[in-house]
Structure 1
Amino acid sequence: MGRHSLPDEHATEGTRGGPAAAGRRRTVVVATLLVLVVAGGAAVAASSGLLSFGDACRDSAVRLDLVASPDLAPAVRSVAERARADKVTSDGSCIDVRVTAREPYKVAAALGAGREPDFAVWIPDSALWVDRAKEGGESVPVATAGHVAASPVALALVAPAAKSLGWPSRTYTWAELAAAATRSDALRLGAADPARSAAALLALSSVGRSAAHEGADGGTGAATLAKALAQRTADTDAQVVETLARDGSGAGRGDPRRNQAVVLSEQAAYAYNTGRGAKRGLDLFYPKDGAPLLDYPYTIVRENRLSTDRSRAAMRFLTLLGEPESRRTLGRSGFRTPGEAADEAAVKKAGAASPQPYAGSTAETPSAKELQEALGMWTIIVQSARLTTVVDASGSMAAPVPGAGGRSRMDVTKASLLRALAQFTPEDEIGLWDFATRLDGSRDYRELVPTARLGDPVEGGRTQRDRLTAAFGALQPVPDGATGLYDTTLAAYKQATASYRPGRFNALVILTDGANEDPGSISRGELITRLRRLADPAKPVPMIAIAVGPDADGESVREIARATGGAGYQVTDPAEIQAVILKAIMTVGQGSRAN
């Protein structure tokens, strides 16, 4: 007799088959159908989120909206669903976590611009996005509370291509790996856009650092890799995986539009390999000078506006993500647990094999400056730049810089500009003005070197780069010269917009160490009004304005730059100019590329 039958132990054979028994059977059938209908309705309601909990939780559940990187979101969603099923509580109230996948670069841009978030918790794939979100002048506050997963960044290759580089027996530094992968056109190398992918940007920065440690020019090494990647770049990490050769073809064979090698996280390689079943997947090269980590920070967004219940629920869910069952869920998706040894079986599924140093120490995270320089360089390479640089030559530029060995502001500024110049390619166009007051007759400014392509020849067998290098080196403060900032800015911007070059990143760079001191110039309000009239969204020429030193008017340069769609910065040390220029190119250059 089955478990759910309803026997009547006292009935006779006759009564068991009579009308009363038939009535009871109909009652049982109807009751069973009602149970199935109710159960089915509940299942539909639960799957649609209408009935997430039983009666004990339904009215008291604390709703928590969480946005996660697309690679991590499915595993986090599984943990959230288990929390609902298990009625996990925070301070006696069940937690109801709703997970949405969203690209980290988009979230960082929105938070940096001060857009009001529709979520309380954000888990990007890297802390670099948290730093990016904080850079905006009106950014939404975010605070990192912990890390929920990790995944090293490596170079993934289809098997024949990996074999050609000696996998797994041969190991490489990042610099050596980049050189090997870019040595010829036979090995097609791709990556996601470093402006949108933490994995690609970390790899690019690691190549530069690796080359510098080996005594080579780190900028050249990273630029070489960037040039190769720029030809075969996908928008996102998910899309770059789709560019891989589907038949595992080696270099020189198969569809030439597809790549044999891509910059990828270990977790992405794991997902790709496990999704191929018995087919041979990717092999991973882990650089012997260390693989940078995607570190998946758990961040609380605008915590000061969260209710106590939601704030505590957010921390309770972070704790839950660190519990053994949650770690197993993350592990089944190919993620590592922060601070713990790699799971050998999972790593091998991702494409690792000895003696590749997959279990060794990871690389030191690139500094914010290194990341800014790498991304600024990437922006320049992807879209050649056309920049006019306007340098303050007023008498105050002769003031000594504290801690600079007696060098003046102008001396340190020139050195920083020369370092920045070295980052540009022969295809980039750069010119130079200087300004003070009445520097050229009644004008406060003069053009020293017209804006032209750095590789173009000039008189004397030199190039535009040589000419600019000499002009930067010859800059000198004008004794008793004041700061004619406003008239100069307007004149330079007029010329920059009139000479706009399509297909390039056009910008005006202005460096000043003071406030406007020309009593006969236009007012700041008039300058801003006229700049707004000149600015054309169809032909963007953002201004990068840098206030140098303690006497500079940082607020003015920020307001002036914003009128053109650009950005203003203030630095205390002129030596920071190079890094700020590259950072600004990265920031405003991405906006320009979107047009």
Structure 2
Amino acid sequence: MGRHTVAASAKKPGRKLILSIIGAIVVVGVVAGGVFLWVGDYLNPLFASAGTGCAEPEELVVVADTSIAPALTDIAEEFDQDSELCVSTEITAQDSADTAAVAASGGMDADVWVPDSSVWLDRMNATASSLGQSQPAVEARESIATSPVVFAGASTKATEIAAEPVSWARVLGGTLPTILPDPEASAASLAGLLTLRAHSAPEDPRQFAGAMVALSKSIPASTSAAFGAASAGQEPVVVVTTEAQVAAYNLDDPTESLVAAYPVDGTVSLDYPFVRMTATDAAAGSEPADSSESADPSDSADSESADASKAELLDAFEAAVRDSAKTFAAAGFRAPDGSGELDIAGLGAEAPEAQTALDGAAQLEILRSWSVLTLRSRMLAVIDVSGSMEEPAENGLRRIDIFQQAAVGAMQKFSGEVELGVWVFSTARNGELDYEELSPIAPLGDAAHSQQIAGVIQSLPARLGGATGLYDTTLAAVQRVRETYDPEKVNSVLLFTDGKNEDENGIDLETLLAELAKIDDPTKPVPVIMIGIGPEIDLDAMQRITQATKGAAYSATKPEDLGVVLVDALTQRSCRPNCG
């Protein structure tokens, strides 16, 4: 990431050079007005820059994604040394997500940006618009390299991973344990999600949403952390990444190397566009000229000359970059068209077939969905344990059995950062109250709390009895969540019932709706998500209650239906009450 200067330095010669000069026959000559040193039998242009105007080399500033910055650093060093131009090229490594944010805010101070995907340009423009800024004036040129998205696993577990063909279909089905680095920061993860959606059933969008729920359960801090987890785990697991990232990891001589597994159902490639940050954009943050002073024509001419000189340097550097296929291949990159052979441990020699033109708008749409999905939840689960929950459902299981199966599956998908509490309800369950608190709202990452909730779920059949005290319980649950509201999380009530309100001594529907309206606080929204099990539910009443709280009502008869509506409850949080 250093600065590489071909021109002679203005610093004094080092000790070794001085000693060599003393020990040599030194002849000083003046050639064409320039000063040269004869050292031994060759001409050294050490001091020539003073006479040729190269004492202050022109600087090029390149910001590159961390994955490709080392290769560009090598190219820049050679370019500065071999170029006939007086140039110093500085390569700065920075995650593309960070660069996109800086550029969007107008703070980008560079001549060139090389992100690891063109999607960051879309992200930059979208962020600029959201900040009320003009979109940065940049010139995105063709990519200089590509790297396909792959699954990476520990080399010691390669045989187990390869026991079945790796595929996006297996990720969708939950049969391929997968770690997904945060798509907010990883272009490989975002492109992987785009590919995953393409392989999901178009008639069932919940399949893709369910896969995202599972992948979001544990989000590593970085791709490096994901690699560490894959190597340290006892069970075989794969990480969504790129060939280039696997190559960089293995070339760093780790204790345990990685192997790239190529999806049998196809993959995509990240491109690395060469983006010129134009003079207009670079000058956006400069101080305006003083209009009281008349402009000097010579200043304008000097500026135009400087721009032309910088453009010439950029052309030369870009040409050098595009002529460095061997350097890129040595670092694990394929050619811009996706072709090329690699000779790096852990990677396949031949390039896989991969799509490179990825839909930027679709990726941003997925990213927005991911952002909503990973908003940490704080939920109070309220479970109907009235006697009718012993009744059989369509598949012959008892309604309480259906709930137990779905609840266990949901618990496995939730992140440890999700906070969950459990109530049960039926008439006169707790003295005169229809509800009973069995577990407080607390993080599932707390092992003792998670075990407590698992125990509650297993104990439900033994708790059955009474009628359905729906309305009093709903009001009390909303009040409890609002009393302990956490503004940093999505606070909600998740209520499961198999029937309509049967508490003749409690409040009626109209009173419930009036009370919900009275305590409504837009700054502390508590949506109620109601899930009805069986044919005896009062769906109309459920819909009126959930509309009053900007929630949603669902009906489920089979265990898989309950799992589906749980996915909806998590993934449609941003659109309520107008979800399509």
TM-score, normalisation: structure 1: 0.51
In the TM superposition, residue 320 of structure 1 has moved relative to its aligned partner by: 0.9
Q: Aligned pair 1:174/2:161, yes or no?
A: no
Matched-pair contact (CA < 8 Å) for 1:64–1:98: yes
CA drift at 1:341: 2.2
Q: Any idea what the Cα deviations from partners look like across 1:562-592, whole Å, max 9, x if unmatched? A: xxxxxxxxxxxxxxxxxxx99999xxxxxxx
Tell me if the contact between 1:149 and 1:335 (Cα under 8 Å) persists in the aligned partners: yes
Per-residue displacement from partner, 1:275-325 (whole Å, max 9, x unpaired)? 337x763222212332221111110113435622223322221111011xx
Partner of 2:111: 120
Superposed CA deviations along residues 446-476 of structure 1, whole A, max 9, x for unmatched, are xxxx9984742479569xxxxxxxxxxxxxx
Structure 2 residue aligned with 1:300: 276
Secondary structure class of the residue paired with 1:67: strand
Residues 389-419 of structure 1: per-residue CA shift (max 9 Å, x gap)? xxxxxxxxxxxxxxxxxxxxxxxxxxxxxxx
Residues 8-67 of structure 1, C-alpha deviations (whole Å, 9 max, x = no match): xxxxxxxxxxxxxxxxxxx998812899xxxxxxxxxxxxxx999786462463211110
Question: d(CA) in 1 for partners of 2:219 and 2:186?
Answer: 11
Is 1:496–2:542 an aligned residue pair?
Answer: no
Alignment match, 1:414: none
Structure 1 position 273 matched with structure 2 position 250: yes
SS at match of 1:231: coil
Distance of 1:351 and 1:115 partners within structure 2 = 39
Distance 1:51 1:295, change over 3 A: farther
| Distance in structure 2 (CA, Å) of the matches to 1:55 and 1:78 | 29
Q: Distance in 2 between matches of 1:341 and 1:159?
A: 25
What is the CA–CA distance in structure 1 between the aligned matches of 2:25 and 2:226, rounded to whole Å? 51
1:190 equivalent in alignment to 2:216 = no
Kindly state the Cα deviation for residue 361 of structure 1 after the two structures are TM-superposed.
2.1
Write the mapping of 1:211-230 to structure 2, written as runs, cut at 5 A: 211-212=200-201, 217-224=204-211, 226-230=212-216
Alignment of 1:164-563 (within 5 A): 164-166=160-162, 170-179=164-173, 182-183=174-175, 187=177, 189-212=178-201, 217-224=204-211, 226-245=212-231, 250-251=234-235, 260-276=237-253, 281-304=257-280, 307-323=307-323, 326-339=324-337, 341-346=339-344, 349-352=345-348, 359-363=351-355, 365-384=357-376, 453=492, 455-457=494-496, 495-499=521-525
Mapped contact 1:51–1:58 kept (Cα < 8 A): no
Tell which deviates more after alignment, 135-144 or 236-245: 236-245
Assess, with a 3 A threshold, how the Cα gap between structure 1 residues 130 and 385 changes in structure 2: closer, same or farther: farther
Aligned counterpart, 1:518? none
SS at match of 1:383: coil
Is the contact made by 2:372 and 2:573 (CA closer than 8 Å) also made in structure 1?
no
Match of 1:155 among 132, 151, 154: 151
User: Identity across aligned pairs (percent)?
Assistant: 22
Residue identity in the other structure for 2:249: Y
CA 1:65–1:28: 2 relative to 1, 3 Å: closer
Give, as a single letter, the amino acid of the residue that structure 2 aligns with 1:62: E
Deviation at 1:231, TM superposition (A): 3.4
| Equivalent AA in structure 2 for residue 85 of structure 1 | Q
1:304 partner SS: helix
Alpha-carbon distance between aligned partners in 2 of 1:343 and 1:52, rounded to the nearest angstrom: 43
- In the TM superposition, what are the counterparts of 1:54-133 in structure 2 within 5 Å? 56=52, 58-59=54-55, 61-89=57-85, 94-112=86-104, 114-133=105-124
C-alpha contact (below 8 Å) 1:204/1:374 kept by paired residues:
yes
Distance 1:333 1:131, change over 3 A: same
* Amino acid in structure 1 at the alignment position of 2:316: R
Deviation by residue 1:495-549 (Cα, 9 ceiling, x = unmatched): 3224489xxxxxxxxxxxxxxxxxxxxxxxxxxxxxxxxxxxxxxxxxxxxxxxx
CA contact (8 A) 2:60 2:90 kept: yes
Q: How far apart are residue 155 of structure 1 and its match?
A: 0.7
Against the structure 1 CA distance between its residues 315 and 217, is the aligned structure 2 distance closer, same or farther, given a 3 Å change threshold? farther
TM-score (norm 2): 0.52
RMSD: 4.3
* 1:154 CA drift (Å): 0.8
- In the TM superposition, what is the alpha-carbon distance from 1:73 to its structure 2 partner? 0.7
Structure 2 residue matching 1:296: 3-state secondary structure? strand
**Matches of 2:573 and 2:318, distance apart in 1:** 33
Q: Distance in 2 between matches of 1:70 and 1:164?
A: 31
Contact 2:491 2:525 in 1 (8 A): no
Q: Is the 8 A contact 1:68 1:101 kept in 2?
A: yes
* Cα distance change, pair 235–301 in 1 and its aligned pair in 2 (3 A): farther
Residue by residue over 1:143-202, the C-alpha shift from the partner in whole angstroms, topping out at 9 and shown as x without a partner, is: 2022111111111111354322435xx5344122453xx438xx5x32321111101111
Q: How many residues are aligned here?
A: 350
Partners of 1:145 and 1:304 lie apart in 2 by 17
Aligned amino acid, residue 155 of structure 1: F
Q: Is the 8 A contact 1:153 1:292 kept in 2?
A: yes
Work out the CA distance in 1 between the residues paired with 2:214 and 2:115: 27
Which 5+ residue runs of structure 2 have no aligned equivalent? 1-17, 27-45, 283-306, 379-413, 421-477, 479-489, 502-516, 528-570, 576-580
Q: Structure 1 segments of 4 or more deviating over 4 A?
A: 27-30, 50-57, 425-429, 458-462, 498-501, 581-585
| Superposition deviation, residue 382 in structure 1 | 1.7
| Contact 2:188-2:270 within 8 A present in 1 as well | yes
Query: Does the 8 Å contact 2:118/2:360 carry over to 1?
Result: no
1: distance between equivalents of 2:19 and 2:166?
72
Once residues 217 and 310 of structure 1 are traced to their aligned partners in structure 2, the CA distance between those partners, rounded to angstroms, is: 53
What letter matches 1:308 in structure 2? Answer: A
- Residue 131 of structure 2 is aligned to residue 144 of structure 1: no
Return closer, same or farther for 1:57/1:75 CA change in 2, 3 Å cut-off: farther
Q: 1:79 to 1:583 in 2, by over 3 A?
A: farther
- In 1, the alpha carbon distance for the partners of 2:48 and 2:244 equals 31
- CA–CA distance in 2 between the matches of 1:460 and 1:54? 91
Contact 1:192 1:236 in 2 (8 A): yes
Cα separation, 2, equivalents of 1:361 and 1:342: 11
How far apart in 1 are the matches of 2:330 and 2:181? 24
Unaligned runs of 5+ in 1: 1-26, 36-49, 253-259, 387-424, 430-449, 463-490, 502-580, 586-595
Residue 206 of structure 1 deviates from its aligned partner by: 1.1
Structure-1 residue corresponding to 2:125: 134
* Conserved 8 A contact 1:223-1:377: no
The 3 A distance-change label for structure 1 pair 30 and 309 is closer
Q: Separation in 2 of the partners of 1:251 and 1:342?
A: 33
Given that residues 159 and 282 in structure 1 are in contact (C-alpha distance below 8 angstroms), is that contact kept between their aligned partners in structure 2? yes
Tell me the distance in 2 between the aligned counterparts of 1:34 and 1:500.
Answer: 87
Given the superposition, is the C-alpha separation of residues 222 and 321 from structure 1 closer, same or farther in structure 2, using an over 3 Å criterion? farther
